[in-house]
Structure 1
Amino acid sequence: NKKFNSDNKTTLINYRDKGFDLAEGEDEIVIELGDDGSAEDIAFLTFSPKELTATGSRTFNFTLKKQLGRLRHPIEVFNPRGQDLQNIDCVAVFCGLMLECIDPSSRYQITNDKLPNSASLNMKAWRRKAISYMNDVNPEPHSPVSLEKFVTHWQIRHPFSSDESSDMKWPTKANLMELAYKLVSWIPEFQEDDEGVVYLKAITQTITQTSFFNKYSANIDFSSPEAEKESINEALLNIFVPIASGGVQIDENLFEVIPSNRFNIMSIHQAKGLEFPLVIVDVGSRFKKNLAKDANLRFPKNADSSSIIQDSIRKYSSLYTNDRDSKDMAFDDLTRLYFVAFSRAKDVLLLVGLNPNIDGYKQNEKQMKIPNVALGWNRDEEFIGFDNIFLI
């Protein structure tokens, strides 16, 4: 371990060559865990909590979650925003079951030419997962009615009764919120898992919000074939398409209470106002080279889009023009972001990233650096460092 501070004039390039021994006279760094501590005392803060990139590549969040789950004493992770809602298995099964109930055999889904292709493909995948879940998993409870029987009765529009009475009639209207909460009985993730509860809230919130603005108010109307078709198509377009196309995001307000005994992965923005004994900040897991495409996340080379928009609009307001240019404003935003991240730590702050962020890398026989505000670079592209930060 070597002290990593502003008094050290050694360039980042030479750190690896010099080694990481503790400076003379300094003691070994020891972090001790209290007997009454738990995983909830730790927060991993990152620019984005996503576990997969837009191209499907795995991020460090994915790897971290996987490795924590492989420990001899596995540590559960709480990261409900790690994956897009439409790609989560329990969400796919749940939405597929709802679709199978209201629109058996995709009768209206197939004939609705207003459905976006990507959403339609996702809904087909949901249905396959739901059918497999019913047939292969056959989840409890099986009494008084099994999941398969419940869905079948919905599909044939015949109410369930313990004596299989034929005198009972299917209602003229069925509420989708009621259907959703009945199906939850067979989805244990939505009852027992902290992340699952958040996913359920996101779905039911979508149904509730839809009910305020649409003709059938999140109901399926069976009063006539025309009303049934129209109400099902309304539900497909206004409830299931937004979820299937990635339009429904996990709102941070849906998980105001952080679960106990779980390792928290969250965005820096989400961590505002919170404090943890140990805070780990991702300052360089995605930076292997000094590339322009990710410069706005570490060392802005040009003004970002938000700064440009602010400048364009500002001159028409009472604020008039700003003395600071757009590039400086981008630096200001990034500095504030990492100030928020670093100040979340009560006792210990740990910064993590890939080795090239410290050592640099070779390109065409030339030693290259990766400037990064979060690692102590100033705006003149000089490495200054931080006081009381140790390189481990």
Structure 2
Amino acid sequence: NQKFNSDNKTTLINYRDKGFELAEGEDEIVIELGDEGSAEDIAFLTYSPKELTATGSRTFAFALKKQLGRLRHPIDVFNPRGQDLQNIDCVAVFCGLMLECIDPNSNYQNTNDKLPNSASRNMKVWRRKAISYMNDVNPEPHSPVSLEKFVTHWQIRHPFSSDESNDIKWPKKANLMELAYKLVSWIPEFQEDDEGVVYLKAITQTITQTSFFNKYSANIDFSSPEAEKESINEALLNIFVPIASGGVQIDENYFEVIPANRFNIMSIHQAKGLEFPLVIVDVGSRFKKNLPKDANLRFPKNVDSSSIIQDRIKKYSSLSNRNRDSKDMAFDDLTRLYFVAFSRAKDVLLLVGLNPNIDGYKQNDKQMKIPNVALGWNRDEEFIGFDNIFLI
């Protein structure tokens, strides 16, 4: 059942006449998880799952995750692509610990003028968080060696032994992947949390890929002072700088299996091939006004860069459709995107957005609309609507 619910009855009645069916006077819609259901039966699909914009503003995905965590019975969210990798606390601690091990006191980091300023700043933040984690949290296990003692032995280049023997020599070469997996012992998020496992995969994949193309193959070479300096600087530039500068993205292949009992927030593209009993699609949480800067996400006005490239090369292709211009192609792409989103629902499809996407808004005493392909606007900027979509 659906219940009519809006601040602007006249506008909504106009929408009913044009394409939305209103079910006024009926019982409120109720969507609940049965005894056999779980949060994994639900997917929230959005153009981008980022929880913060480039300017630091919080998105609807951020608010949704926060509210679900505040419930009397909190619901865990699975959104590993919600934050930039370099800003995640457990990643910062982990990378900071690795840096403290291989480059004590930032000796090489501070003297390497090839490091970008932004990456260097993030690495300093990582180190501070790692030191705080060692001293203030002092995580388990403490035996046979504590985290602080492990890092200290790395910094003084002295191998750990239970009897503190001086007969054991520090190896001439140390593999960064082995160091990473030893440090994981003190990072519970990388062992127990589904999102943490994804972050660990992203970091270790970066180390692995680096090993194929660099002189020291993701090893720190202690055979001579020159080799040590060169191998540490190589690791700083080719492993830690990409992570610290935002160059390492969370690949969808890192989480092929969706965890149980987690509310899924994902991009529409990521949801291809998946189905859920309840699908919630964000069709307008970021659109308060009809602004050109976000038109490509809802109603393309100008040709985007990818369409321009397609236009330039399609004349050389036997598959070229010369009757379709770049703007038409942009509309086609957006229509296909939301077709993918809407068709992910097995039982219930729920579209969400801000009220101005339906009611419009006032500007200079004029009623303005926000054209949106996902809400049933055609290319002539006319609202057509959809069959069997109820406004609640």
Give the TM interval when normalised to the shorter protein: over 0.9
1:187 offset after TM fit, Å?
Answer: 0.2
Distance 1:193 1:308 in 2: 42
Q: Per the alignment, do residues 22 and 288 of structure 1 end up closer, same or farther by CA in structure 2, a change over 3 Å counting?
A: closer
Q: Per the alignment, do residues 329 and 18 of structure 1 end up closer, same or farther by CA in structure 2, a change over 3 Å counting?
A: closer
Is the CA contact (8 Å cut-off) linking 1:45 and 1:268 kept in structure 2?
yes
Is the CA contact (8 Å cut-off) linking 2:377 and 2:385 kept in structure 1?
yes
Map Cα deviations across residues 257-294 of structure 1 (whole Å, 9 max, x no partner): 00000000000000000000000000000000000000
- Correspondence for 1:58: 58
1:309 offset after TM fit, Å?
Answer: 0.7
Map Cα deviations across residues 236-256 of structure 1 (whole Å, 9 max, x no partner): 000000000000000000000
Range with bigger deviation, 8-17 or 209-218: 8-17
Is the CA contact (8 Å cut-off) linking 1:16 and 1:359 kept in structure 2?
no
Identity of aligned residues (%): 93
Map Cα deviations across residues 74-107 of structure 1 (whole Å, 9 max, x no partner): 0000000000000000000000000000000000
1:26 offset after TM fit, Å?
Answer: 6.5
Please give the secondary structure, in 2, of the residue aligned with 1:3.
Answer: coil
Please give the secondary structure, in 2, of the residue aligned with 1:283.
Answer: strand
Q: Per the alignment, do residues 18 and 195 of structure 1 end up closer, same or farther by CA in structure 2, a change over 3 Å counting?
A: same
Distance 1:187 1:163 in 2: 26
Q: Per the alignment, do residues 5 and 58 of structure 1 end up closer, same or farther by CA in structure 2, a change over 3 Å counting?
A: closer
Map Cα deviations across residues 162-211 of structure 1 (whole Å, 9 max, x no partner): 01111111000000000000000000000000000000000000000000
1:317 offset after TM fit, Å?
Answer: 2.6
Is the CA contact (8 Å cut-off) linking 1:97 and 1:151 kept in structure 2?
yes
Please give the secondary structure, in 2, of the residue aligned with 1:11.
Answer: helix
1:387 offset after TM fit, Å?
Answer: 0.9
Q: Per the alignment, do residues 270 and 88 of structure 1 end up closer, same or farther by CA in structure 2, a change over 3 Å counting?
A: same
Q: Per the alignment, do residues 142 and 201 of structure 1 end up closer, same or farther by CA in structure 2, a change over 3 Å counting?
A: same
Q: Per the alignment, do residues 126 and 296 of structure 1 end up closer, same or farther by CA in structure 2, a change over 3 Å counting?
A: same
Q: Per the alignment, do residues 7 and 272 of structure 1 end up closer, same or farther by CA in structure 2, a change over 3 Å counting?
A: farther
1:349 offset after TM fit, Å?
Answer: 0.1
Structure 2 spans left out of the alignment, 5+ residues = none
1:34 offset after TM fit, Å?
Answer: 2.4
Range with bigger deviation, 30-39 or 2-11: 2-11
Map Cα deviations across residues 305-347 of structure 1 (whole Å, 9 max, x no partner): 1111101111123335521111011000000000000000000
Is the CA contact (8 Å cut-off) linking 2:139 and 2:186 kept in structure 1?
yes
The count of aligned residue pairs is 392
Distance 1:355 1:96 in 2: 44
Range with bigger deviation, 225-234 or 7-16: 7-16
1:33 offset after TM fit, Å?
Answer: 3.1
Distance 1:230 1:42 in 2: 50
Range with bigger deviation, 314-323 or 353-362: 314-323
Please give the secondary structure, in 1, of the residue aligned with 2:279.
Answer: strand
Q: Per the alignment, do residues 284 and 93 of structure 1 end up closer, same or farther by CA in structure 2, a change over 3 Å counting?
A: same
Is the CA contact (8 Å cut-off) linking 1:76 and 1:263 kept in structure 2?
yes
1:35 offset after TM fit, Å?
Answer: 1.5
Distance 2:353 2:204 in 1: 38
1:40 offset after TM fit, Å?
Answer: 0.1
Distance 1:54 1:122 in 2: 16
Distance 1:114 1:87 in 2: 22
Map Cα deviations across residues 344-389 of structure 1 (whole Å, 9 max, x no partner): 0000000000000010000011100001010111111111111111
Map Cα deviations across residues 195-228 of structure 1 (whole Å, 9 max, x no partner): 0000000000000000001000000000000000
Range with bigger deviation, 283-292 or 13-22: 13-22
1:304 offset after TM fit, Å?
Answer: 1.7
Is the CA contact (8 Å cut-off) linking 2:4 and 2:25 kept in structure 1?
no
- Correspondence for 1:143: 143
Q: Per the alignment, do residues 305 and 41 of structure 1 end up closer, same or farther by CA in structure 2, a change over 3 Å counting?
A: same
1:3 offset after TM fit, Å?
Answer: 8.7
Is the CA contact (8 Å cut-off) linking 1:286 and 1:354 kept in structure 2?
yes
Please give the secondary structure, in 2, of the residue aligned with 1:108.
Answer: coil
Q: Per the alignment, do residues 171 and 359 of structure 1 end up closer, same or farther by CA in structure 2, a change over 3 Å counting?
A: same
Is the CA contact (8 Å cut-off) linking 2:23 and 2:390 kept in structure 1?
no
Q: Per the alignment, do residues 104 and 21 of structure 1 end up closer, same or farther by CA in structure 2, a change over 3 Å counting?
A: same
Is the CA contact (8 Å cut-off) linking 2:360 and 2:367 kept in structure 1?
yes
Distance 1:338 1:21 in 2: 20
TM-score (norm 2): 0.95
Distance 2:19 2:377 in 1: 21
Please give the secondary structure, in 2, of the residue aligned with 1:352.
Answer: strand
Distance 1:17 1:321 in 2: 36
Is it true that 1:288 corresponds to 2:293 in the alignment?
no
Q: Per the alignment, do residues 66 and 166 of structure 1 end up closer, same or farther by CA in structure 2, a change over 3 Å counting?
A: same
Map Cα deviations across residues 150-169 of structure 1 (whole Å, 9 max, x no partner): 00000000000001111111
Please give the secondary structure, in 1, of the residue aligned with 2:125.
Answer: helix
Distance 1:169 1:137 in 2: 31
- Correspondence for 1:335: 335
Please give the secondary structure, in 2, of the residue aligned with 1:174.
Answer: strand
1:108 offset after TM fit, Å?
Answer: 0.3
RMSD (Å) for aligned C-alpha atoms? 3.0
Distance 2:254 2:141 in 1: 28
Q: Per the alignment, do residues 3 and 66 of structure 1 end up closer, same or farther by CA in structure 2, a change over 3 Å counting?
A: closer
Q: Per the alignment, do residues 8 and 112 of structure 1 end up closer, same or farther by CA in structure 2, a change over 3 Å counting?
A: closer
Q: Per the alignment, do residues 115 and 24 of structure 1 end up closer, same or farther by CA in structure 2, a change over 3 Å counting?
A: closer
TM-score (norm 1): 0.95
Q: Per the alignment, do residues 5 and 187 of structure 1 end up closer, same or farther by CA in structure 2, a change over 3 Å counting?
A: closer
